[in-house]
Structures are given as C-alpha cells and as structure tokens.
C-alpha cells in the first residue's frame, strides 16, 4: 500500500526511524487510505460464467454455505432473505421444518429459473457479497421469451466425468446450469448420459436441498464421480441438443434482457416466412412444435425452438441474435442455412394442397349424402341424420347453413323436444293420480303426490302443484257434467 503524501495528510509529523510520514493522533484512517467496503459473505467468484459450463445458482449457494460452515437453509433464512427487499413467507409446514423449509419454498419457485424466490436470492447475494451478475447463473435473461413449462428437471442430475475432471484439475466442484434443464439428457463433452441416482445408496436427490454440496450425495455423502454406466451415448440428436443449449447459456451474459423477447419473435416470424410461406401453423406442423401454434400469444418452449433449429439447420443462438446471417437474405450464410430449404416450401405447399383436397372431398361427400337424406328427414331424428352423414352438427352449421336451418325447422331443438316429452308424460301420470283420488273419494296432499311422481319428472319440471290443481279442476268439471257428485270428495288441507 502506498504511503500518504504530505499534501494528503493533515497535521503529519516526521518519523526519523522509518524515514516516512505518519499521521498524528487527531487524523482518521479514512483521510489517508481508501478502505474498500467490507462484505458480510465471502466473495466467491462464480465458475464458468460466459461458457457452456456455467454454474447454477443453487450450486453456488451450496458452495457458499459450505465455505461458511452452515447449511444452505440457514444461509437463505438468516442472510439472503434478510438482505432482500422481497419478503417470502414460507408455508406452515415449511416453517415447522426449520431451515430446510426455506430451501423447499425456494425450490418450488424455480430457483434456477425466474420468480420471486430467484429475485430475492439474487438480491440477497448481491448485498451480502457486494458482487453482481448472479442472474447469469439462472435462466432469468430468457424469462420473457421462453416458457417455463417443463423447462427444468425434477431431480438433480450430473455428469460423473465432469466431476472427476474438476477434481483432477483442482477446480471447485460445481453443478452446471446445463444439467438442470430437462431438454439436456447427455453431457456433450464426454458423450455419456447424465446420472440422477447415487451409485452408493441409489437414491435420487432434489435439485436444491439444505445439505447438498456439488459432487456429493446429500443422503449418504458419497462421491458422485463414480459412473454406473461408462458407455458413450450414440444418440447424436441428444448430443446436438446439449451442445446447442450450452451455447445459449454461454451467450446469456451478452444478451440485452429487455429486447430478448422482441428479437426471438422477429426471428420466429422470419423462419415462418422462409420455410412455411409465412404461416406459423404450417411451421408448427412441419417441426411438430405445439407451442408454435399459440405463439406469440403464449411463450414458446425451449424444446420446440430446438426442433425448429434442428429441422432447418439454424444455430439456436441465431434465434436470439438480431438479424442473424442465416435468416438474412443476401448474406453468404443464407444459402446454406438449411439443407432442406429448397424442399421445405414445397413440402408446405403440398401439405396445403392435400388439406384443401381433403376438405373438398368431405364437402362433396356430405352434400351427396344430405341430398339422399333430406326427402325422409321428417321420419328421422337429428342423431340419425348426423350418423348417416358422418359429420358433426357444427360442420353442418358452418358449411351447410341452409340445410341446417331446414333440419332445425323440421326437427326442432332436441332439448326442447325432450322437455315437451317429459311434460306430456308428467301430465299423463298426474291424470292417473287424480282419477285414483276421485275414485277413492279423498284428495292427497301435494307432498304425497310429489313423492309418488318418478324422480326424472320431478327433476325436469317443478310446476307439479299447478298442474295437479288444473287436472283436478278439469276432472271435477267433467264429473259434474256427467252427473257425478264431486262435493263428496274430501280435500286435504296439507300443501
């Protein structure tokens, strides 16, 4: 550290033994030396930032808690959440679980993705370590562009060869962000499948747990660098997917978070223009990507973006690059962006022609069948007409509106028809009950009559009382005309 100059010190005095200037007793240290601010937590640099081997946030918290000789749950509860302005209230069972409850609560909100828990932990780390850039340890830069549905694996996964390499090179063991994504199934460097069970206790571990440490099993503390199956994977598609996602993670520190969604939307529509005649539906059908059908109303999944890139030979990073060469007409890479570029528009055109031919064939067949059915439509029910024509009611309403109106006028509404039938059957049943009352010389209460009526009639109509009154009046009037004595009938006062 440099000695202070005479001009920078107030009230200095000469020290002959050291041949230097030393501050007098009334001088503060801050007037002489600039002391940097101290952090509460160790300033441990994240590993692999800007590379495919970037560390994940959960693994970094585990390493930091190990250096402080505390559990991850205690670090989150007493340090990270205390330093954050985002207040997370754990559930009652999490509170009873102690420190582990805070880890489980954070895990439920995608600690390596985005959400309130991720923002709270990042803010707590920035304040505790006085460092920045922790968002690159998560998928937070892609929050507004990629769907979170099925994005992360449900259990912790790792590559044993990567753990062994970290130990041999004396680098700190770490969990990669690449391993937490569900679309990555193999290690692209060592070409082996990712492991998810401990080779000693054969137990699976959660992605984030209170007693976890990179490279070791949280259950039995066994070293996870021992692989159960050392055979190399021959699935080239899985290796390509892992390598593509790795390049996407490597470019996350260079992205402008505010414009990621806009750039992706422009490039997806550019793919639709180049390969699917401008139709997102055709692009989704060609690549079998379900989320493309609803884009941009809903965010697209990472797996569907990989399918689009694989189909047309586009690097995944180009979809997040503004005006990439592979999608810009006139560039030297545009001609060889995809081997299938010449055949894809033809495939899309053939698919459209095939669908149009099928629609025309269905229309002609339905028209021919309806011409045969209409002369005898009065003798058929709506269900029989639809079964013979082989189409749905909505298809008839959309394509044969005149026929549909004619059918509706002839056959009526099936629900109203059912109600009319129920009314007719109910009236017949009430007439029989009232005739039995008249012959017995005693009127039953409405409650008794309602109990005797079958349940299907009671459920269909609730005007039983009025109908019984009308039927009694009609039958009594008829009996009076015929000379009978209706006054002898005993009426019940119950209602």
Q: Calculate helix-pair angle for 414-440, 464-481, nearest 10 degrees.
A: 50
In a domain, 376, yes or no: yes
**C-alpha distances out from residue 232 to 113, 180, 193, 226, 235, Å:** 30, 21, 8, 15, 9
In a domain, 127, yes or no: yes
Same domain flag for 441 and 467? yes
Specify the number of domains making up the chain: 5
Same domain flag for 124 and 164? yes
Same domain flag for 285 and 372? no
Same domain flag for 310 and 273? yes
Within 10 angstroms of residue 266's Cβ, the number of other Cβ atoms is 15
Given this model, what pLDDT does residue 320 score?
94
Final residue of a structural domain among 203, 224, 255: 255
In a domain, 306, yes or no: yes
Within 8 A by CB and 6+ apart from 48, the residues are: 54, 55, 174, 176
In a domain, 348, yes or no: no
**C-alpha distances out from residue 288 to 43, 237, 270, 282, 393, Å:** 46, 16, 18, 10, 29
Same domain flag for 66 and 98? yes
In a domain, 494, yes or no: no
Final residue of a structural domain among 412, 439, 474: 412
DSSP-derived letter for residue 77 is I
The residue to which tokens 């994940």 are assigned: 56
Same domain flag for 234 and 282? no
Given this model, what pLDDT does residue 426 score?
76
In a domain, 354, yes or no: no
Given this model, what pLDDT does residue 491 score?
44
Same domain flag for 51 and 183? yes
- Which parts of 132-289 are beta strand (E)? 186-187, 192-193
Same domain flag for 228 and 310? no
Final residue of a structural domain among 238, 255, 272: 255
In a domain, 352, yes or no: no
In a domain, 213, yes or no: yes
Same domain flag for 330 and 265? yes
Sign of CA dihedral 193, 198, 202, 208: negative
Question: Which pLDDT tens digits describe the chain residue by residue (495 residues)?
Answer: 444 444 444 444 444 444 444 445 455 555 566 667 788 999 999 999 999 999 999 999 999 999 999 998 889 888 988 888 776 655 444 444 445 445 544 455 478 988 888 888 999 999 999 999 999 999 999 999 999 888 999 899 999 999 999 999 988 999 999 999 999 999 989 899 999 999 899 999 888 888 888 999 999 989 998 766 666 767 889 999 999 999 999 999 999 888 999 999 999 988 888 888 778 888 888 888 888 888 888 899 999 999 999 988 889 999 999 888 777 654 445 544 444 444 455 555 555 556 667 777 777 787 787 778 777 766 666 677 777 777 777 777 777 776 666 665 554 556 666 777 777 777 777 788 778 777 777 777 777 777 777 666 655 445 677 777 777 777 777 666 555 544 444 444 344
Q: Domain range for residue 393?
A: 360-412
Same domain flag for 50 and 171? yes
DSSP-derived letter for residue 172 is P
Same domain flag for 104 and 194? yes
Same domain flag for 266 and 149? no
Residues 287, 289: Cα–Cα separation, whole Å: 5
């Amino acid at each position: 550290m440099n000695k202070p100059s005479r001009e920078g010190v107030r009230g200095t005095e000469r020290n002959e033994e050291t041949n230097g200037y030393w501050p007098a007793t009334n001088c503060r240290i801050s007037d002489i030396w600039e002391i940097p601010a101290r952090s509460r937590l160790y300033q441990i640099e994240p590993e692999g930032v800007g590379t495919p081997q970037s560390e994940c946030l959960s693994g970094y918290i585990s390493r930091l808690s190990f250096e402080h000789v505390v559990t991850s749950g205690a670090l989150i509860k007493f340090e990270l959440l205390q330093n954050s302005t985002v207040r997370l209230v754990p559930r009652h069972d999490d509170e009873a679980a102690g420190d582990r409850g805070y880890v489980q609560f954070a895990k439920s909100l995608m600690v390596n993705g985005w959400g309130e828990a991720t923002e709270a932990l990042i803010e707590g780390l920035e304040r505790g370590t006085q460092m920045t850039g922790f968002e690159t340890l998560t998928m937070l830069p892609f929050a507004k562009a990629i769907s979170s549905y099925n994005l992360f694996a449900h259990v912790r996964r790792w590559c044993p060869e990567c753990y062994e390499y970290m130990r041999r090179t004396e680098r700190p063991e770490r969990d990669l962000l690449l391993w937490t994504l569900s679309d990555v199934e193999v290690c692209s460097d060592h070409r082996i499948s990712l492991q998810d069970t401990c080779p000693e206790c054969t137990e699976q571990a959660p992605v984030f747990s209170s007693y976890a440490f990179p490279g070791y099993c949280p259950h039995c503390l066994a070293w996870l660098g021992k692989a159960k199956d050392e055979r190399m994977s021959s699935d080239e598609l899985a290796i390509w997917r892992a390598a593509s996602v790795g390049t996407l993670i490597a470019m996350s520190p260079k992205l402008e978070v505010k414009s990621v969604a806009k750039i992706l939307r422009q490039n997806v529509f550019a793919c639709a223009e180049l390969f699917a005649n401008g139709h997102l539906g055709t692009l989704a059908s060609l690549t079998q990507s379900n989320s493309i059908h609803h884009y941009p109303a809903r965010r697209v999944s990472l797996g569907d973006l990989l399918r689009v890139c694989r189909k047309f030979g586009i690097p995944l990073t180009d979809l997040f690059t503004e005006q990439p060469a592979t999608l810009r007409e006139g560039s030297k890479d545009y001609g060889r962006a995809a081997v299938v570029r010449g055949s894809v528009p033809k495939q899309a055109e053939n698919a459209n022609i095939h669908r149009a031919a099928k629609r025309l064939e269905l229309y002609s067949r339905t028209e021919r069948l309806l011409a045969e059915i209409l002369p005898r439509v009065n003798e058929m029910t709506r269900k029989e007409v639809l079964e013979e024509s082989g189409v749905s009611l909505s298809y008839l309403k959309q394509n044969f509106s005149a026929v549909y109106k004619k059918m509706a006028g002839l056959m009526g509404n099936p629900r109203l028809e059912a109600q009319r039938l129920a009314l007719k059957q109910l009236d017949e049943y009430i007439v029989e009950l009232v005739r039995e009352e008249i012959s017995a010389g005693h009127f039953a209460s409405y409650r008794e009559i309602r109990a005797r009526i079958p349940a299907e009639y009671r459920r269909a109509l609730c005007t039983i009382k009025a109908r019984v009154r009308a039927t009694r009046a009609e039958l009594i009037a008829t009996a009076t005309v015929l000379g009978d004595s209706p006054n002898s009938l005993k009426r019940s006062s119950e209602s």
